[in-house]
Chain A
Amino acid sequence: NAGVTQTPKFQVLKTGQSMTLQCAQDMNHEYMSWYRQDPGMGLRLIHYSVGAGITDQGEVPNGYNVSRSTTEDFPLRLLSAAPSQTSVYFCASSYSGGRGWSDTGELFFGEGSRLTVL
């Protein structure tokens, strides 16, 4: 049981380049999400999904796209990277709690992906 797996762990991009951060989980969790972690800003939610085919925006969605074609995978796409997107990105998953449109509060995190945009 690998839990939440993120790739790549490190990436350097030039401004304007695109890339996809991969996230996969093997716990059959309905809920998946992406956060970015910046010094002094804490964890900020980018996008989340409560199931295959369903995605929604979080606090800081601009410049990022997501899709959820399977329960297991939730890739995060940077369409045209900007220096402001230099950050550490975390994928997290959870069973779907409450009425099914959020997590349960107990999130399982990946190891993070450190992205630098020059």
Chain B
Amino acid sequence: AQRVTQPEKLLSVFKGAPVELKCNYSYSGSPELFWYVQYSRQRLQLLLRHISRESIKGFTADLNKGETSFHLKKPFAQEEDSAMYYCALYSGNTPLVFGKGTRLSVIA
């Protein structure tokens, strides 16, 4: 069965501090991993996907197949990064599976 685990419900960091949002997955095949973000009063939107290997809004995420992880990182948090973040797994033959989400709060 496919499963996505985000161990932290809430993560609070100070502005300028590094951020790491954890995501671990369970899947026997080769998945695609995504991060979605929901800013206050905005719709959920795709932040980045691992196959793109790009940095979006200063965020990066590397797929570690050995550790089955896809942690989201940013070296210096900004207040506008405060949002709800969801990690998601795509297997190709069933709908996208989401984790339970982590609320990031960046404190000025």
Contact = CB atoms under 8 A, between A and B. Distances in A.
Interface residues of A, number: 27
Contacts of A110: 43
Interface in A31-45: 33, 35, 40-45
Given A45-B95, A98-B93, A107-B96, 20 more contacts: A40-B100, A42-B6, A42-B86, A43-B44, A43-B98, A90-B43, A92-B44, A97-B92, A98-B92, A101-B93, A102-B91, A102-B93, A102-B94, A103-B95, A104-B90, A105-B34, A107-B46, A110-B43, A111-B43, A112-B43
Given A42-B101, A104-B90, A109 B44 contact: yes
B92 A41 contact: no
Interface of B: 6, 9, 32, 34, 36, 42-46, 49, 86, 88, 90-96, 98-101
A48 B101 CA distance: 21
Given A98-B92, A104-B90, A42 B43 contact: no
A99 B42 CA distance: 32
Given A105-B34, A109-B44, A42 B98 contact: yes
A107 B96 CA distance: 9
A26 interface: no
A105 B86 contact: no
